[in-house]
Amino acid sequence: MSILIDNNTKVIIQGITGRDGAFHAEKMQAYGTNIVGGVTPGKGGETVSGQPVFNTVAEAVKETGANTSVIFVPARFAKQALLEAAASPLKLVVCVTEGIPTLDVLEAYEALKQNGTRLVGPNCPGVTSAGICKVGIMPSQIFKPGRIGVMSRSGTLTYEIVWAMTSGGMGQSTCVGIGGDPVIGTRYLDLLPMFEADPDTDAIVMVGEIGGQDEIVAANYLRQNMTKPMVAFIAGLTAPPGKRMGHAGALVGGEDETAASKIKKLESLGIPVARVTSDIPRLLAEIMPVQSNLVSGVPIPGG
């Protein structure tokens, strides 16, 4: 089992005729994702990677039965792409596009929410259910099917930590890159109940960074409502004061939004925090249930 995406996910790609859309269409298909079509206004009737191209999302959903969209359109067209998705019966929209104006995202998010459509992103690497399906740009080769859920604000750190886990024999259930913008559609707090309900997830890795309080909110929720353990990594211990570090949301607004402050708070709540990404497998081995010390048939170090 997994969260958000699985074998029943049918994906259309908004922007499939562009460079990035076409490239990642092939990569997603090669991983086993059920890509059923794409959308580029004015290019209906063409094919990309063997998939039909439609002029509108409405056409694509009607003809293919798609329930998920991934967006690769340029930032200046992203709001329209999101609003078009919001007008269709899609269950999930993953927006990879970065640099979308915050007000555009707010408007689109409200429209998607009213339609009952979940947004992941924007400015995110997407979602991968290891060995089953991927929607987005995560590199397939780093994943190994297993029982650890991952949720992260940083794409690059996601890849580094997933690879450290895989190299240590620890597989993943679902990995979600939530994005690093100030306004995003899905936060840690939204994912935690899903991981708790997933019988194939035994532990969770949270990858955070400076700025905001989402990591602390998630930790408090976990301690009050969940049975599954979590370890964390918080980027930005050496971030200069007043500097935004890569993401629009990674800007410290107060002392309680620094990496050091977050680490202290998380540890006070009993959540182990790695100081370097390579420590994640060791910390997981210390908190994983005994029955989970074999993941995909490979012993976990220390298990």
127-177 pLDDT tens trace: 999 999 999 999 999 999 999 999 999 999 999 999 999 999 999 999 999
Is-contact 132 143, C-beta < 8 A? no
Ranges of the chain whose pLDDT falls below 50: 249-253, 291-303
pLDDT at 41: 97
Catalytic residue (one of 24, 153, 247, 262)? 247
Residue type, 11: V
Is 247 considered catalytic here? Answer: yes
Question: Using an 8 Å Cβ cutoff, are 177 and 208 in contact?
Answer: no
At residue 258, the pLDDT reads 86
Dihedral in degrees, nearest 10, Cα atoms 52, 56, 57, 60: -30
For helices 259-268 and 214-225, the axis angle rounded to 10 degrees is 10
**In the prediction, which pLDDT does 128 show?**
98
Q: Are 129 and 173 in contact (CB under 8 A)?
A: yes
Query: To 5 degrees, how large is the angle CA 10–CA 11–CA 12?
Result: 135
Cα angle: 82, vertex 195, 68; to 5 degrees: 25
Domains and CATH numbers, the chain: 10-120 (3.40.50.720), 139-299 (3.40.50.261)
The pLDDT value recorded for residue 246 is 54
Tokens coding 296:
């995909």
Residue with tokens 């400015």: 123
Give the integer Cα–Cα distance in Å for 120 and 36.
20
User: Which residues on neighbouring strands pair with residue 229, listed in sequence order?
Assistant: none
- 204: tokens are 């969770």
Q: Specify the pLDDT at position 268.
A: 96
Residue-by-residue DSSP string for 56-76: SHHHHHHHH---EEEE---HH
pLDDT score recorded for residue 12:
98
Q: What is the pLDDT of residue 240?
A: 59
DSSP type of residue 240: P
Pairing of strands 68-71, 92-95: parallel
Q: Would you say 206 and 180 are in contact if contact means Cβ atoms under 8 Å apart?
A: no
pTM attached to this predicted model:
0.91
Residue 224's CB is within 10 A of a number of other CB atoms, namely: 8
What pLDDT is stored for residue 291 in this prediction?
42
